[in-house]
Each structure stands twice: as structure tokens, then as C-alpha cells.
Amino acid sequence: MPPLKAVTLTHVRYQKGDQLGHFLAWVSLVPVFISLGGFVSHFIFRRELQGMFFALGLIVSQFVNEFIKTSVQQARPETCALLEMCDSHGWPSSHSQYMFFFAIYYTLLTYRGISLFENKFLVNFLSWSLALLTMYSRVYLGYHTVAQVFAGAALGIFLGAVWFWFVNSILACYFPAMEESKFGRMFYIKDTSHIPNVLKFEYDSARAARKNMASKCN
């Protein structure tokens, strides 16, 4: 019978009794939380083209990561035996690449004025802090070497910046056509990147609609 292999999406190990390791194990799951909790809920409730292409960029980045890992085939550190991860490659770190792609892309979005939050410093500080913590967690928990996480971080920053330029300099010209397409109208796909303060715009629109409804009831 062939050996069994676990699905490692949320399979993170740490040394029993190590409180820091326990914390960092949760930190290393941040990419999963962002993907499932962030982008899936974004599509369900907001359906913004910027958010969709942000998510698509992260997916493309991970395909690039897998291609490089398969091509280079650099082994993980010796601790991979305890983690049952020696059958996978370690360079570059996909977790670091994901988080640094996310951090640079989100930072560029906020400084272009495309964000749901007004406090740019706070949200960018949070995204970069999580990226650095995730990078540290992969080394601390024994999944990667220092060189592997730095390679992932550098590649993530590069791909995130390139993807941001591609989306906002090339694809953004086609956003109106995407909104007006059959698919866009069917699923209420929209682009609000031209609105300076989306939350205020939606808030004012909701209040105006409520007042209009109230006037009809009187």
C-alpha cells in the first residue's frame, strides 16, 4: 500500500508547550484567512473589479511560486522530517511570497486612493507586520530557511508591484466594458476605484435612498 499524504493547507505543527510557536502557527495561516475570509466574502458582498484582480494576482503569484519550486527543487531544512514536509520543495517560500505580494499591492492601492479605510498608515502597518511575522514564523517553525523566506518576500514584492502596474495601467482601461458586459451586469460586477471615498459615497447613497423611501411613506 502506498504511503499516505496529508493535505497541508492548514496542517501547521509547532512544539508542544511553545506559546510563541503556537502563536506563529496561527500567524502562518493568515494567507488562508485572507483568501477564504477576505476575497471570498469580498466577491459575495462587494464584487469590485479591483478586488477580483487583486485575488487573481495572488493566484498567479502562487502558480509562479510552484513553477519555480518545481524547477529549482531546493530542499527544505532538516526539520522537514519532523514536519512530514520533506517531499515538497522550499525555495522560494510560498507563504512569504503571498504575504509580501499582498502587502505591496495593498499599499499601492491605498496610496492611489483605492481603499475602504481612511487611515492609510494603520492598514499598511498591519499588512506589513503580518507579512514580516509570517516570514519569521516559517523559519521559527522549521518549514523554511532564512534564504527561502527572503527569496519568497522579494519575489512577492516584485510580482505584486508588476501586477499592480498591469492592472491599473493596462486592464483598468477595460473596466467600464467589463461592468457593461453580460457577465458584469448579471453578477453586479462594478468598479469604484474612481470614487475617492467609497464608504462615504455608499453611506450617503444609502441615507438618500432611505430618506426618499421615508418621504413616500408620509
Q: How confident is the model at residue 201 (pLDDT cuts 50, 70, 90)?
A: confident
pLDDT at position 102 is 92
pLDDT of 157 higher than 90: yes
- Is pLDDT at 180 greater than 70 in this prediction? yes
Q: Is residue 213 part of a domain?
A: no
Is 2 within the bounds of a domain?
Answer: no
pLDDT of 93 > 70? The answer is yes
pLDDT above 90: residue 195? no
**% pLDDT > 90, the chain:** 29
Does the residue 11 lie in any domain? no
1 is a domain residue: no
- Using the predicted structure, report yes or no on whether residue 11 has a pLDDT greater than 70: no
pLDDT at 199 over 90: no
Structural domain boundaries enclosing 74:
19-192
pLDDT above 70 as % of the chain: 89
Q: 60: which DSSP letter?
A: H
So what's the pLDDT on residue 118? 64
pLDDT grade, residue 105 (50/70/90)? very high
In a domain, 167, yes or no: yes
CA distance 194 to 186: 22
Q: Average pLDDT for residues 164-188, to the nearest whole number?
A: 90
Is residue 198, in this structure, part of any structural domain at all?
A: no
pLDDT reported for residue 119: 67
DSSP states of 169-209 = HTGGGGHHHHHHSHHHHHTT-B--TTSS-HHHHHHHHHHHH
Number of separate domains in the chain: 1
